[in-house]
Structure 1
């Protein structure tokens, strides 16, 4: 098992990754109601807000996952979240996911947040690989992941029905070795 009970403060040039705070919740609500977030995450817009608030309030207590708020350094506000979860003991890997709300798009905040959390995981844990899934209708995210070293391992065909169309999902992986090679190279 992996121990992620310590929730770090990670500062980049554009973003700060930090534990969630109560004052983030109005911005979390905004993100979770955003049509683009709903589409790109394959979510529905039926949200139990009491459950959701409680869920976010317990993220900082989790020992088997790392949930961090993404804060825009220039504005000091919550713009999304970066999560490492779903430990796979056999492969000594974890899943990565990121969500960027409307206030944080198209400025490289998601790219920097992804770089920061990847570096943190590979520098402070023994995790061998990070995995993720990205829907085909999100080529911008897929491009960012590829730029950071993730490679497509497999494709889940017809993984999501969206507006009457079936969308494939790309399963991607970044290994510690390939991350180290890129970092040194």
Structure 2
């Protein structure tokens, strides 16, 4: 999406940045993993296809994606941004007749970062962005039935199970954004700051605090 092509979201443990060509090689390596292919229900792409995909994420009006960075590592200007990557988070506007409905996906690709509360923080940050910037009024997630950790996390965030697809072995959960949900989201992300991505990168490369 053009709306977030220069947006950085600064959280407690993570920084969310737009998916650029700089991130593609590491992302491509991640997606060679059969485990991640299964968790994301995706097929492996060639490196060139991955670059095309990154361009479509940036330009398509129905997709919004951020790369998840380890904030502590990213604060060290000696570490390349690609080496700070942890995973990604996406919003798909799946229904052309209802732009307020969004499918949410999150992938913590680096195993060492799982089980540390990062998934919850990123999910709340992305939902807050979706509500305040994209006008999302209902979130939907589709999760593999064997991915019990993700299912439990979304249920803790008050998502309700609406259907189970035995064929695809996945469960669909939904959350309608009413005033109480909106208030809770904003409370969860009270420390989140939105910054200019390119300006932050320039500051970082100059050795200044971003």
Larger helix proportion, structure 1 or 2?
A: 2
Kindly indicate whether the alpha-carbon contact (under 8 Å) linking 1:31 and 1:100 is maintained by their aligned counterparts in 2.
no
- Residues 148-181 of structure 1: CA distance to partner in whole angstroms, max 9, x if unpaired? 121111111131xxxxxxxx21111111116236
User: Does residue 22 of structure 2 align to residue 15 of structure 1?
Assistant: no
Distance 2:72 2:24 in 1: 19
| Corresponding position of 2:181 | 179
**1:129-148 equivalent positions in 2, closer than 5 A:** 129-148=138-157
SS at match of 1:121: helix
SS at match of 1:87: coil
Say if 1:43 and 1:22 are closer, same or farther in 2 by CA, change over 3 A. Answer: closer
Figure out how many residues of one structure are paired with residues of the other and give that number: 173
Kindly indicate whether the alpha-carbon contact (under 8 Å) linking 2:127 and 2:185 is maintained by their aligned counterparts in 1.
no
| Corresponding position of 1:34 | 33
Q: Which ranges in structure 2 are unaligned for 5 or more consecutive residues?
A: 75-83, 188-210
Distance 1:57 1:137 in 2: 32
User: Does residue 59 of structure 2 align to residue 61 of structure 1?
Assistant: yes
Say if 1:173 and 1:60 are closer, same or farther in 2 by CA, change over 3 A. Answer: same
User: Does residue 85 of structure 2 align to residue 85 of structure 1?
Assistant: no
**1:110-129 equivalent positions in 2, closer than 5 A:** 110-129=119-138
| Corresponding position of 1:162 | none
Of structures 1 and 2, the one with the larger relative CO (CA 8 A, separation 6+) is 2
The Cα of 1:92 is off from its aligned counterpart by: 3.0
Distance 2:183 2:122 in 1: 20
TM-score by length of 1: 0.83
Distance 1:126 1:21 in 2: 24
Kindly indicate whether the alpha-carbon contact (under 8 Å) linking 1:149 and 1:182 is maintained by their aligned counterparts in 2.
no
TM-score by length of 2: 0.74
| Corresponding position of 1:73 | 71
SS at match of 1:74: helix
> After the TM superposition, which segments of 4 or more aligned residues of structure 1 sit over 6 Å from their partners?
none
What is the RMSD of the two structures over their aligned residues, measured on CA atoms? 2.2
Distance 2:185 2:130 in 1: 14
**1:99-114 equivalent positions in 2, closer than 5 A:** 99-102=107-110, 104-114=113-123
